[in-house]
Chain A
Amino acid sequence: MTRVAAAFRSGATELRRTPLLLGLLVVAPAYVIYLFTAVAPDGPAVVHVSGESVRTTLPAAFPAFTTPMTAALLSGIAGLFLVGTATRADARLVVAGYRPGEVVLARLGLLVGVAAVATAVSVGVMLTAFDPERIALFVLGTGLTALVYGAVGVVAGLVLDRIAGVYLVLFGSMVDLFVFQNPLATDTHALARWLPGHYPLRVAMDAGFAGTVDPLDVALSLAVLGVLGAVATAAFYREVRLS
């Protein structure tokens, strides 16, 4: 456990010593959510959550549905680079006596840390414009969305090269979270429920606008995260052992 903590600390130190990246972790979500809030026209909006239609305003709806997307984007990119491109250095740790599982655990712990920061910053900025009905559940939904896309980023980083990986993370989160799962849409496309962001975003939107969350949605979100996390862990474990 000490070795996992040491590897985690070294990764965190690497992050801390990259001030530009730290700045971006804060500025990027603030920029997106603030901009969407600022440009939202005054006017009513109807969001479709928990099988019911809830009346709200566009300046409230915009920051609400861009917050999980922003946290997911940051985590996805972090997963892609922090884990995907670190395999060579991590393989040296294995040569130095670390067990592959310890290295993988440390890296995934770092990713969870980034997802937590991205979630905290995104929700913090959002709170200046939108007050969710159930803040704790909204944070849970946003955090789960971020973790799911973090896992997608890890897999993309290990399977694809960087250009394709970044493309996939941006396109995936845009289409999945911004278009397919958008609560402003009157009908959810049949394909939407098969995408990774469906259940966690539903948790966030239900908590934000309806104030009630179906426990099944939380369970299914955790299941999606479990499956993607297992795939990411297995792929990363294999990469570290083979490198």
Chain B
Amino acid sequence: MGRLATGTRLGLVEFVRQPTTLAMLLVLPPVVVETYGVALESFPQLPSLGADPATAGRVTGTLFAVAFLSGLVGLFQVISARSADERMTVAGFPRATLLATRLVTMVAVTLAGGAVAFGVFARRVDVAAPALAFGVLVLAGLVYGLLGVVVGTLVPRELEGSVVLVFLADVDNALSSGLFPVDAAVPVPGAGDVAVTDLLPLYHPHELFSAAALEGELATGHLGPVAAWVLALLGIAFLAYGHSTGGGLPAPVRRWSP
């Protein structure tokens, strides 16, 4: 427990001491939420947006702001700390504890970013079930944070990792938000034809958030897929991270040679 707390504190202090990152946490989510709302006011022709495009835009913007922030924090937590984590492993930190510290840090940032974004959202939209909506927002952040951790573990350089995450988020946000009518389906073994949007990480959180914020309901049908995403990504993250920091083998003793 002491190691977990120490590692988490380290990650958070590292984050807080970067002024632009901290400023981004406070400034960018509100800007994203508001800009999406303003931008979608120009979209009256798309039937998928419903009666109030601005509200639909703010729902999408809030989810995107929090999810992508968490994804980036997850990505850079793993990539920038790779060599430090390897040294911590040599010093006796269990790999699982190290990854747990990264995840707890990511969750803490998600909570902070989520609170800021949700605050802005709630000022502009009459939220039907605030606690439920905020919980779903954090869940969306968790999905993307874990996705960032997995990408950062598998693609261990900042440029390539960022490209992968950015392109995933770009497509995911555009298609899962419902801004455009998408009815394509793909065959999934054991499940028949499944809509493409159902397979996107942000689709189910988007549906949960819309239902909670606008109707005050828990869309229980979407909870299972979100839980599946979280568990699957968590499992992959632990496996990949363990492998990338030494595969569970004791660290080699390096000898100095002139």
Chain A positions within 8 Å of B, measured between CB atoms, are: 18, 20-21, 24, 28, 31-32, 35-36, 38-41, 43, 46, 58, 62, 69, 73-74, 77-78, 80-82, 85, 159-164, 166-171, 174-175, 178-180, 182, 184-189, 191-192
Contacts and interface: CB of A to CB of B under 8 A. Distances in A.
A46 B36 contact: no
A189 B24 contact: no
Given A81-B158, A186-B45, A191 B38 contact: yes
A interface, over-half SS: helix
Interface string B61-73: 0001000110011
Please indicate which of the listed interface residues B72, B160, B163, B196 has the most CB atoms of chain A within 10 Å of its own CB. Answer: B163
A167 B69 contact: yes
A77 B166 contact: yes
Given A18-B157, A39-B182, A185-B42, 7 more contacts: A81-B159, A171-B28, A179-B43, A182-B43, A186-B44, A186-B45, A191-B39
Contact of B68 (A78, A161, A171, A185): A171
Contact of B45 (A74, A169, A185): A185
B45 A184 contact: yes
Interface in B36-61: 36, 38-46, 57
Ranked nearest first, the 6 interchain pairs of A and B with the lowest CB-CB distance are: A164-B24, A179-B39, A81-B159, A39-B184, A185-B42, A39-B182
A105 B50 CA distance: 50
B171 A167 contact: no
B87 to A, nearest CB: 21
A189 B38 contact: yes
A178 B38 contact: no
A167 B24 contact: yes
Contacts of A35: 171, 175
B241 interface: no
Contacts of B173: 174
A77 B162 CA distance: 8
Q: Which residue of B20, B36, B175 has the most chain A CB atoms within 10 A of its CB atom? A: B20
B18 interface: yes
A162 B28 contact: no
A66 B211 CA distance: 29
Contacts, number: 135
Contacts of B239: none
A178 B174 contact: yes
Nearest to A66: B174
A174 B61 CA distance: 11
A38 B157 CA distance: 30
A161 B164 contact: no
Contacts of A73: 166-167, 170
Contact of A164 (B28, B45, B46): B28
5 contacts: A28-B163, A32-B171, A39-B196, A170-B170, A180-B42
B35 interface: yes
Contact of A74 (B157, B163, B179): B163
Nearest to A15: B159
B99 interface: no
B167 A31 contact: yes
A21 B159 contact: yes
Nearest to A23: B160
A161 B171 contact: no
Nearest to B195: A39
Contacts of A160: 20, 24
A179 B58 CA distance: 13
A130 B41 CA distance: 28
Nearest to B40: A179
Contacts of A74: 163
A162 B35 contact: no
Nearest to A186: B45
Q: Which of A62, A81, A170, A192 has the most CB of B within 10 A?
A: A170
Given A163-B73, A164-B20, A167-B72, A32 B39 contact: no
Nearest to B18: A161
Nearest to B44: A186
Contacts of A39: 175, 182, 184, 196-197
Interface in B130-170: 155, 157-160, 162-167, 169-170
Given A35-B171, A179-B40, A167 B163 contact: no
Residue among B18, B23, B39 with the highest chain A CB neighbour number at 10 A: B39
Contacts of B159: 21, 77-78, 81-82
Contact of A20 (B36, B38, B155): B155
